[in-house]
């Protein structure tokens, strides 16, 4: 199956700093999403981004499908950004949507 | 929009009992729902795909007789952990899929923490 690698595995920031999270995938995909899991376990959708660039407030994401990677940018980080960020991809072979998750990047933002 | 509820949020039970977890999409219909299991500091492990009106598709290594899944309607899927044992203790998360044609988006419930004593 498709392999998804996220880096870095852990990240510690001071409030106000910027960061870039990376998601590499081993094969072509037609669906890619970024999620944030907060410290209470709730997963929240950030971006649906199989290709191109999107921005939402302090967060933005870019996927270069031909080179099989996606980047999540967090600017001016806040303590509420703490948690785990997951990338999930799907190849959609045969029309089916079966997501594969990376191991995540654990982010801690200190005040 | 796109809210998914999951109930209960916490369960503590004795070994040998069965536990039912409900997952509901509150404001959209979901032909497909997923059930995941997550261990501390690990990623989500897909257990099964639940499709409305048909049998669930289980991932390799997941016992279908242990984890019974029923997708009763386009807004409700249930996971029953039968004869639970301490090794079944975990964080169980459901998601409901919105969209189709490679534009599917998952929306997650808040999860259920199961502790089997």
Residues of chain B above pLDDT 70, percent: 99
pLDDT tens, A43-74?
999 999 999 999 999 999 999 999 999 999 99
The model's confidence at residue B101, banded by pLDDT at 50, 70 and 90, is confident
Contact B102 A35 (CB under 8 A): no
Chain B partners within 8 Å of A93 (Cβ): none
How many whole angstroms separate alpha carbon A36 and alpha carbon A43? Answer: 5
Q: Which of A44, A92, A103 comes nearest B43 by C-beta?
A: A103
User: Which residue numbers in chain A have pLDDT < 50?
Assistant: none
How many whole angstroms separate alpha carbon B111 and alpha carbon B80? Answer: 14
Q: How far is B97 from chain A (nearest CA, A)?
A: 9
Pairing outcome for strands A10-14 and A105-110: parallel
B97: contact with A, CB 8 A cutoff: yes
- DSSP string spanning B46-81? EEEEEETTS--EEPTT--TTTEEEEEEETTEEEEEE
**By CA distance, what is B43's nearest residue in A?**
A103
| φ/ψ of residue A89, rounded to 5 | -125, 160
């Amino acid at each position: 199956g498709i392999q998804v690698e996220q880096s870095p595995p852990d990240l510690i920031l001071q409030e106000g700093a910027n960061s870039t999270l990376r998601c590499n995938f081993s094969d072509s995909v037609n669906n890619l999403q970024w999620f944030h899991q907060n410290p209470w376990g709730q997963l929240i959708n950030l971006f649906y981004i199989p290709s191109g660039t999107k921005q939402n407030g302090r967060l933005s994401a870019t996927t270069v499908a031909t080179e099989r990677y996606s980047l999540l940018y967090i600017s001016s980080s806040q303590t509420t950004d703490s948690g785990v960020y997951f990338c999930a991809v799907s190849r959609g072979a045969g029309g089916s949507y079966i997501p594969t998750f990376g191991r995540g990047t654990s982010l801690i933002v200190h005040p | 929009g796109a809210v998914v509820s999951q109930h209960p949020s916490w369960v503590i039970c004795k070994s040998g009992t069965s536990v039912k977890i409900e997952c509901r999409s509150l404001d959209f219909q979901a032909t497909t729902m997923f059930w995941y299991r997550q261990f501390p500091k690990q990623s989500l492990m897909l257990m099964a795909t639940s499709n409305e009106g048909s049998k669930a598709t289980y991932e390799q290594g997941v016992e279908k007789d242990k984890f019974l899944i029923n997708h009763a309607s386009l807004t409700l899927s249930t996971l029953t952990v039968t004869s639970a044992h301490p090794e079944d203790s975990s964080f169980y998360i459901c998601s409901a899929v919105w969209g189709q044609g490679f534009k599917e988006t998952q929306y997650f419930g808040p999860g259920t923490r199961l502790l089997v004593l």
